[in-house]
Amino acid sequence: MVESSLQGWPQRGHVLIMPFDALLHDQATRRLLAYRAALAEQGLCPGLPFRTLAVLTTDLPGEVIELAVTLEDGTHRVQRARPATPMAPAASQVHGLTLEMLQNEQPLRTRRRSLEHLLSQPDADGQAVPLVIWAGDFTRDALSNSFETPFTLPLVSLQPLIQACNVAINPSARSRPSLDGMNWTVPLRAPDRTLALSVAQSTRELVDLLLTSEAIRTAPRRTVP
């Protein structure tokens, strides 16, 4: 944990005025330590294997039309699927996929057995490998819709974990955290929302940063959409 020195800070009466970057780093460090402890409770610690999963869907949540998995050996898998339901125009505007682009793909339910086998395989020591997703409930619902029966594999969902930590630190923090917004805690690159693989890789990068990185010291650059 980084300790900040108070020497040289401006003072108004008996109140020290903390410079913006020092305040930013202090708050980000508090969040980072809370997130790290919460991840450890889920079996996510430096050096231990984990997998990540991300999906693109027809709606909120709709059906899965693209799925990406990053594996602990550094490889990844990407699959597209033909949905049985219409594509919401708003969803297509985000990821750029259309029903016409997916018409030659197989429905995801035809690959369920092989997918669940991939996601649930133990490591070389026979231990379960955590499956990490940014928004677990959303992804679980979309997979259940695609499979037409519930998807029940255990997930580590980061968004509610992060939100619970934020509320514990600041009870007035009510906004739902976003993956892109995690760059206010660690130096995370924004994912490409048109690619499930980019989101899965960003999720992996986030976990690695939360487990091993220092908190940011300056505000992230604003990006123009």
* 179 assigned to some structural domain: yes
pLDDT tens-place string over residues 101-147: 999 999 999 999 999 999 999 998 999 999 999 999 999 999 999 99
Q: pLDDT tens for residues 79-91?
A: 999 999 999 999 9
- The per-residue pLDDT for range 4-40, each reduced to its tens digit, is 444 555 555 555 556 888 889 999 999 999 999 999 9
Domain harbouring 61, CATH code: 3.30.420.10
Instruction: Classify residue 31: in a domain, yes or no.
Output: no
* Residue 6 domain-assigned (yes or no): no
Ramachandran assignment for 74, one of left (phi > 0), alpha (psi -120 to 50 degrees), beta (any other): left
Is 195 part of a structural domain of the chain? yes
Instruction: Output the pTM of the full model.
Output: 0.90
Is the Cβ–Cβ distance between 191 and 53 less than 8 Å? no
pLDDT at residue 62 is higher than 90: yes
Number of domains the chain contains = 1
CA dist 125 and 203 (Å) reads: 25
Average pLDDT score, the chain: 92
Measured over the CA atoms of residue 29, residue 159, residue 42 and residue 213, the dihedral's sign is negative
Residues, the chain: 225
